[in-house]
Amino acid sequence: MRLTAALCLTTALLPSPALAQEAQAARDSTPFTLSSGTPRTASQTALTFDKADLSFTVLPAEQALRAEAVLDFTPKAPIETIELELDVVFDISAVQVNGQSLPRGAWSNPDGRLTIPLPRPFAAGEPVSLRIAYSGRPHQARRAPWDGGFVWTTTPDARPWIASAVQGEGCDLFWPCIDHPQGEPGRADLHITVPSELSAPANGRFLGKTDNGDDTTTWNWTARQPDTYAITLNVAPYVEMSADYRSRFGNVVPLHFWRLASTDPAKAQALFDELPKMLDFFEATVGPFPFGDEKMGVVETPHLGMEHQTINAYGNGYKLDGKGYDWLLQHELAHEWFGNQMTNADWDDMWLHEGFGTYMQPLYARWLNGERAMQAELQTMRLTLSNRFPVVSGRPQDAATVYDDDTGPGLDLYYKGALIAHTLRLFIGDQAFYESLRRLVYGRPDPAPGNFTPRYATTPEYIAIVNAVTGRDLTWFFDAYLYQAALPDLVMTREGDQVTLEWKTGNGRPFPLPVEVEVDGRIRTLPMTGGQASFIAPKAAHILLDPRSKVLRRIEYIEKWKST
């Protein structure tokens, strides 16, 4: 009854598609909108975002949306205004505050920051419910998922195929939100109306669908505390595949894969069969699948992929590449732990998503196929590093700055982050390393289904976790690897039979990371106290530093190769 009433009200409030298209024709998305993570305003930090109830009517022929958002907040301090973000390409036709309609013009949205003066001041703890009706043609992706937005295309059999991918640009590309990592609603309900011959899989648990009697069907979903950019729309003629995964933690996780009707069923089944193996690896390595009470979902998309919570986008084309697993599926699945369960508190902490998520790939390669498979992936990563910017700057950042190689770490978030994680694991040992991951992801060392909820994390928090788990102050380790662009350089000098090793770091501080040294085939470990060590070796001895490639460090031959 409630869903039907909401849909009827949506229809009454919304303008015609023609009006939306005319409004869009006069406006383009602003630079403010096309990035994500601008520091929250005082009025935004004064709110607890309790729930987002989002209704979308997807219009494939017009490449447009008609939409309504009902957003529930609880002020933590007295407020007189609510500020959100919503792309200026949309025409806002109506705004209500706790059921009271505001006159058109009472709100403003000049550059994508939607400002809504409240009809009266609201006290701390007094609930506020906003209803916003809007329509228009959402920003189209130029090269999703890297230049994100909406993808409007057709399947091989010429039927509509639609997807959203907005990680770098943010949730405001299609719904009014607080476009910041800490803007997650406590719950999101999605009502997606599409032509009845199409399907609309989305985040969270399926609540059923409604035949509207006009050749459209509304698909209803609910998700708890979704990452803001992880809320997604996917519309196509899908065929649903399903199974149950019996977790090593005793619960049963529903598995769902929505493939195109035109996809080879055998290829789709082969990919679907990978999910239980991947889940078992992640649960054994990190901990329980975070959203087992909802689902582990995957949907075939016209773009490469994205970690949309419980409905990961997959567009890798079922390619085999000799790894023995689908790397794209495995990477996006990693983000259910590193991204959706544990979310970076600021884009400056994005390596917690991408670095640890990427490190799961060589670890999985070893889990499946042994040491050589892992080392091959680590070496491929090592050759990509640019080391132009620190992985972490130590100040608030937005998505555009962090992901652009000209202004931030870019791909180093992934590969340098993964190699730092590898060095850390080998330094502190598996037991301490994996406990640090569990504390980071779940906020506790003993996660089990039902005893944790999604959480935010920062780089300083992870450093404190490692220090607590190891009982040592390893701040120097992270200072050298995360906060300096240059890699630590292990310098060796020889005078006669005297060999001296010294670590040199970007800030010149001591770096006492132990190093293995092989002398004429025999390996020994040097403690590098104070960042230095000396030993005796015959003048003719062959010396190999770090023979088992345990340590991420400057390598001159790689620098020479990359400079050519």
pLDDT along the chain (564 residues), means of 10: 32 36 64 95 97 98 98 97 98 98 95 97 98 98 95 97 97 98 98 98 98 98 97 98 97 98 97 98 98 98 97 97 96 98 98 98 98 97 97 96 95 98 98 98 98 98 98 98 98 96 95 98 96 96 97 96 91
Question: Given the structure tokens 């305003």, which residue do they identify?
Answer: 41
Contact 130, 119 (CB under 8 A): no
Half-sphere exposure for 8 (CA within 13 Å, toward CB): 6
Predicted pLDDT at 22: 43
Q: Which CATH class is domain 489-563?
A: mainly beta
Give 97-100 contacts, CB < 8 A, sequence gap 24+: 97/128, 97/129, 97/130, 98/127, 98/128, 98/129, 99/129, 99/131
Q: Cite the beta strand spans of 60-127 per DSSP E.
A: 64-75, 79-85, 91-97, 100-101, 113-122
Half-sphere exposure for 409 (CA within 13 Å, toward CB): 27
As a residue count, the chain comes to 564
Between the alpha carbon of residue 497 and those of residues 101, 523, 524, 527, the distances in Å are 85, 17, 17, 20
φ and ψ at 400, to 5 degrees?
Answer: -60, -40
Provide the residue ranges of all domains of the chain, joining segments of one domain with +: 2-236, 239-482, 489-563
One fold for 239-482 and 489-563:
no
* Per-residue DSSP letter, 488: P
Predicted pLDDT at 26: 52
Contact 203, 308 (CB under 8 A): yes
- Domain 2-236, CATH among 3.40.50.300, 3.40.50.970, 2.60.40.1730, 3.40.50.720: 2.60.40.1730
Contact 188, 231 (CB under 8 A): yes
Say if pTM beats, i.e. exceeds, 0.75: yes
The CATH superfamily of 239-482 is Neutral Protease Domain 2 (1.10.390.10)
Contact 70, 79 (CB under 8 A): no
